[in-house]
Structure 1
Amino acid sequence: MRHDGKGRVAAVALALLVTAAATGCGTTAESAELPSSKTALVKQAKKEGEVTWASWNPEAQMQPAIELFEKKYPGIKVKYTNIKAPDQVSQLKVEQAAKKVSLDVANAGGLTMTPAVKLAGDVDWAKYGIAQKDIFAKNFVYVWATPKVWAYNTDKVKPADVPRSWDDLLDSKWSGGRISAESRASFMSVWDLDPSMGETKALAWAKKLAALKPHYSPNVTQAESPIETGEVSIGTSLASLVLAAKDKGAPVAIAPVSPTSASESYLYVPKGAPHPAAAALLTSFLSSDAAQKLLAKSYNSRIPVNTDCSDPGNTAVLRAMCEVELKWYGTATLQKYQKLSGFYPKVEREFGTDVG
């Protein structure tokens, strides 16, 4: 064993490297160098041969778009994994610290938008054909919207009793667990986005809703289920969930409670992604017209960021919202997402659902 100065320096350096690798301390994963043209991107993506995409949607909804991508770009295999947005953030933080990232394409939106900014790699989306209007905060691509809505059970609620405003939802006939709400309060985003509403009014409304003793669910997806079964008469949901449930024969419909939020979803390539070119190629493909038409069939395509019913076209979500004359607001800037991060906990405290 060597005991000279150089030996001790070498031993210390080795120990620091081992510790950094084991704990994930020190540096984080960096953005990969990507080709300067779409043609070169395709070539590099085919060399990589695969891409892992994480999203919160069921794989069956994404499968048609995946199959079209693999047909258009033979030799590139898409590995889809269903991971909730908060879990994606947690996983990527750990993996990037350890410099061992497993995801190539991740999903962000709502509460996960702000933390995702630090996780996203730099990509010049414009040179890969992404329209400027669909690029958000430089590194994110707007791919679909899941508007927050109020839904009701058509067997439980008479047409004359269907709520048409946020104040209608505070009627005593919905008390005693006849109304369900997402405990995390994201369905109230519009109160912070619409200048005519605002935080003060939002907290007052939330306190009144809490007095009705609603059925609270941990997320919007789980808030939809009791509406379909008739456990509650009305509750918070997503437009996509309501339409999918109707397709299966569930007695549900969208209530004309306005305004609401567009709830945009974005894709991004995390720093340290193992297949960055294939990730950028898949993301740009999912933003294309061909992919958007397929995604629209499972209620997952883009809609205008703010209220616009001038051309609903074949987008079922947009048509459904326009049919009940909903007005909606999008989260147009990163600053608004950051503001919402402080807004939700305040509403949760009024609900009595804040668990820190």
Structure 2
Amino acid sequence: MQTRRGFIAGASTLALLPTAGFAQSQPAADLIAKAKAERQLVWYTGMVVSQVVRPLAEKFQAKYGIEVRYATAGDSDTVLKITSQARAGKMEVDLFDSPGTSIPPLTKAGLIEPFVPDALAKYAPTFKPQSQLYSGIYALYLTTTYNTDLVKAAEAPKTYDDLLDPKWRGKMVWTDTRAISGPAGFIGNVLSVMGQDKGMAYLRELSKQKIVREPGNQRVILDKVISGQYAIGLMTYNHHAVISRAKEAPIAWVKMEPLVANLGVIALAKGAPHPNAAKLFLEFMFSDDGQKIIAEAGYPPGNPDVPPKDPSIGPVTGNFTSTLLAPEISSQESEPLAGWLKIYDELFK
């Protein structure tokens, strides 16, 4: 039996290495026929429509003639909509994606249908949990970024201990979110790597640095660093920094190991009205063609045969270690996240 502790993968790239010996699979003819008979599917998504959602939907429809109806929704809205539809006895959605936080409540409510696309056969175990309740589309990596106009590369913090330098006091910022991708995830990473006693001692010292808490997501925080409002951004996504750097923004990211990894996942709703069309769409999303769209948008795809657009942002091609904080531990009411949030409230607020 896998424990909650088992969902905190150690500082390693091994969990993200591909499974060898698998060729790309093709969807079964029977699945394609049943999917075409359903004619459409409904997808709740938090991904960028112009860069990811629309290109995936259009290419899938062109290939199979099946309409993809998508609606943008954050995780809280997704959970509310799906639970409300289940209570009413009329499920309207087939698929939903998530940064992980919708998985625990919908799992508890029994509203996720287990399914593993055949296309995931060659993916690393990280992207296909034993529960079969979700599939990992990509892993995103949170780390430290800095404004290159304010901080020289040679002076930028390279390690967690470097963040304790007094010169950074009051010049660092992170998002004031209670999600696992915020300060609580940083705390969990530190405790996982350093151990409880040493980790808590480090966090107490770090709290003296007066890290600024700002509302908004990681993109908002990165933009504040880019604008020069702060010199250092903590728990920001490395692929965001690469995208902004390509547009000549004064930003760079640090390979502060281990980085924090969190999955972008997608799942099949229990009682989905178009289950076969949804399953066929998942086969397409995880195929080489689907993952190339993910890569082109600047994300590091989970497909081992599709490299990131910028090789530096993935742990294998970029040669860095990471700690995976899996969706199963993203509930703020349960351990370990509840404990990490308590530490955040006590030390950093």
TM-score (norm 2): 0.77
Alignment partners' CA distance in 1, 2:100 and 2:197: 21
- Seen in structure 2, the aligned counterparts of structure 1 residues 335 and 153 have a Cα distance that, compared at 3 Å, is closer
Asked whether 1:186 is paired with 2:181, we answer yes
Asked if structure 2 preserves the Cα contact closer than 8 Å seen for 1:141 and 1:287, the reply is no
**Which of 336, 339, 342 is matched with 2:338 structurally?**
342
- Seen in structure 2, the aligned counterparts of structure 1 residues 352 and 331 have a Cα distance that, compared at 3 Å, is closer
Q: How does 1:91-170 map to 2 (within 5 A)?
A: 91-118=81-108, 119-126=110-117, 128-131=118-121, 133=125, 134-136=127-129, 137-170=131-164
- Seen in structure 2, the aligned counterparts of structure 1 residues 210 and 192 have a Cα distance that, compared at 3 Å, is closer
Alignment partners' CA distance in 1, 2:186 and 2:310: 18
Alignment partners' CA distance in 2, 1:77 and 1:224: 36
Asked if structure 2 preserves the Cα contact closer than 8 Å seen for 1:65 and 1:286, the reply is yes
Q: Can you list the C-alpha shifts for 1:253-298, whole angstroms capped at 9, x where unaligned?
A: 1112111122112110112323222222212211111111221111
Asked whether 1:288 is paired with 2:287, we answer yes
Asked if structure 2 preserves the Cα contact closer than 8 Å seen for 1:191 and 1:197, the reply is no
Alignment partners' CA distance in 2, 1:220 and 1:333: 18
Q: In structure 1, what is the equivalent of residue 277 of structure 2?
A: 278
Residue identity matched to 1:212: Q
Alignment partners' CA distance in 1, 2:90 and 2:231: 47
- Seen in structure 2, the aligned counterparts of structure 1 residues 228 and 167 have a Cα distance that, compared at 3 Å, is same
Asked if structure 2 preserves the Cα contact closer than 8 Å seen for 1:190 and 1:259, the reply is no
**Which of 213, 216, 240 is matched with 1:216 structurally?**
213
Alignment partners' CA distance in 2, 1:217 and 1:312: 38
SS in 1 for 2:71: strand
Q: In structure 1, what is the equivalent of residue 223 of structure 2?
A: 225
Residue identity matched to 2:208: A
Alignment partners' CA distance in 2, 1:208 and 1:112: 33
Asked if structure 1 preserves the Cα contact closer than 8 Å seen for 2:188 and 2:340, the reply is no
- Seen in structure 2, the aligned counterparts of structure 1 residues 274 and 313 have a Cα distance that, compared at 3 Å, is closer
SS in 2 for 1:186: coil
The alpha-carbon deviation at position 318 of structure 1 amounts to 4.7
| Farther off after superposition, 232-241 or 323-332 | 323-332
Q: Can you list the C-alpha shifts for 1:305-327, whole angstroms capped at 9, x where unaligned?
A: xxxxxx99731355235587532
RMSD (Å) for aligned C-alpha atoms: 3.0
Alignment partners' CA distance in 1, 2:307 and 2:38: 35
Q: Which has the higher contact order (CA 8 A, sep 6+)?
A: 2
Q: In structure 1, what is the equivalent of residue 266 of structure 2?
A: 267
- Seen in structure 2, the aligned counterparts of structure 1 residues 217 and 84 have a Cα distance that, compared at 3 Å, is farther
Q: Can you list the C-alpha shifts for 1:76-124, whole angstroms capped at 9, x where unaligned?
A: 1112222222332233223222223332211234443322323543344
* Unpaired stretches in structure 1, ≥5 consecutive residues: 1-36, 305-310
Alignment partners' CA distance in 1, 2:148 and 2:321: 22
Q: How does 1:289-304 map to 2 (within 5 A)?
A: 289-303=288-302
Residue identity matched to 1:179: M
* Unpaired stretches in structure 2, ≥5 consecutive residues: 1-26
Asked if structure 1 preserves the Cα contact closer than 8 Å seen for 2:288 and 2:305, the reply is no
**Which of 58, 63, 66 is matched with 1:67 structurally?**
58
Bigger radius of gyration among the two: 1
Asked if structure 2 preserves the Cα contact closer than 8 Å seen for 1:142 and 1:302, the reply is no
- Seen in structure 2, the aligned counterparts of structure 1 residues 87 and 333 have a Cα distance that, compared at 3 Å, is closer
The alpha-carbon deviation at position 199 of structure 1 amounts to 4.3
Residue identity matched to 1:48: E
- Seen in structure 2, the aligned counterparts of structure 1 residues 312 and 210 have a Cα distance that, compared at 3 Å, is farther
- Seen in structure 2, the aligned counterparts of structure 1 residues 190 and 108 have a Cα distance that, compared at 3 Å, is same
- Seen in structure 2, the aligned counterparts of structure 1 residues 57 and 336 have a Cα distance that, compared at 3 Å, is closer
Alignment partners' CA distance in 1, 2:59 and 2:46: 20
Q: How does 1:80-91 map to 2 (within 5 A)?
A: 80-91=70-81
Asked if structure 1 preserves the Cα contact closer than 8 Å seen for 2:226 and 2:251, the reply is yes
SS in 2 for 1:143: strand
Q: In structure 1, what is the equivalent of residue 13 of structure 2?
A: none
Asked if structure 2 preserves the Cα contact closer than 8 Å seen for 1:203 and 1:350, the reply is no
Matched residue count? 308
Asked whether 1:175 is paired with 2:193, we answer no
Residue identity matched to 1:90: L
| Farther off after superposition, 138-147 or 221-230 | 221-230
Q: How does 1:20-99 map to 2 (within 5 A)?
A: 38-62=28-52, 63-74=54-65, 76-99=66-89
Alignment partners' CA distance in 1, 2:295 and 2:169: 36
